[in-house]
Structure 1
């Protein structure tokens, strides 16, 4: 079998010191993560980030920057993920929109509230992405270039 990383996107959406997170089922338990998911065929990384955020939270967002690129190998299954994390601002909440299967719902938490839930993080990247955002890591969206 050929080793192949999985390309994923995530968004750090901040509003007045609170961050939009997703409570979801993973491995038989409820965990917290950024709105995140896999890049699908024939879409750009930016389109994937907008789609995943809407599908998992019901929130339309505006992407404002790239906050980082992360390589993570999940200890649970040995799969390696390449995560492209974006900063975004909330635009509109579609309250009636059904969310993806396995999603419990969106949660707005401060960094301290998230820190108190460390045992529920999907991975250490949840806090790492927020901390990179808070330290001012911002790269222009033009960093992501079409082929």
Structure 2
């Protein structure tokens, strides 16, 4: 439901990661409203962490992969049509380092899956949002910024 006034408008601060290895991208298979969905490793910023720390944490919690951040694809706005919630999402670029042998994945997570861009496009109806493929396409088109654009102040 959309906010009734400007004062009620409270966008959610989220992070995500594009992680490419051998022309495949690390995605998360998860249950959302009783359906299997695909998404980049992503989630909400928590208290007392930086955007970069949130991205590393969410990737580990959702995929079991330890990563190193190498850049930023961008900061994007998305308003979910199902509930009217607006998300401010910083998408990082990461490099897969090592998969945890016994990961403790978040509730609702089925597991990680590596897919090519074309395999992701073929499963478009499973994507959690149109941002999943849009961000990958932006990354492949060269939209990349240094990590410092997601700096920490204060």
Q: Does 1:38 align with 2:44?
A: yes
SS in 1 for 2:148: helix
Q: Which runs of 4+ in 1 moved over 3 A?
A: none
Write out per-residue CA displacement over residues 27-70 of structure 1, whole angstroms, 9 at most, x where no aligned residue: 21000000000000000000000000000000001111010111
Q: Does 1:57 align with 2:63?
A: yes
Q: Which of residues 13, 22, 32 in structure 1 aligns to 2:28?
A: 22
After TM superposition, give the deviation of residue 72 of structure 1 in Å: 0.4
- 2:111 corresponding residue in structure 1: 105
After TM superposition, give the deviation of residue 146 of structure 1 in Å: 1.4
Aligned equivalents of 1:129, 1:88: Cα separation in 2: 13
- 1:116 corresponding residue in structure 2: 122
Q: Give the gaps of 5 or more residues in structure 1.
A: none
Moved more, 133-142 or 33-42: 133-142
Q: Give the gaps of 5 or more residues in structure 2.
A: 1-6
Aligned equivalents of 1:136, 1:95: Cα separation in 2: 33
RMSD (Å) for aligned C-alpha atoms = 0.8
Instruction: Provide TM-score, normalisation by structure 2.
Output: 0.93
- 2:3 corresponding residue in structure 1: none
- 1:84 corresponding residue in structure 2: 90
Q: Does 1:48 align with 2:42?
A: no
SS in 2 for 1:95: coil
Aligned equivalents of 2:102, 2:151: Cα separation in 1: 34
Aligned equivalents of 1:85, 1:11: Cα separation in 2: 5
After TM superposition, give the deviation of residue 145 of structure 1 in Å: 1.7
Tell me how many residue pairs correspond in the alignment: 147
Aligned equivalents of 2:103, 2:128: Cα separation in 1: 24
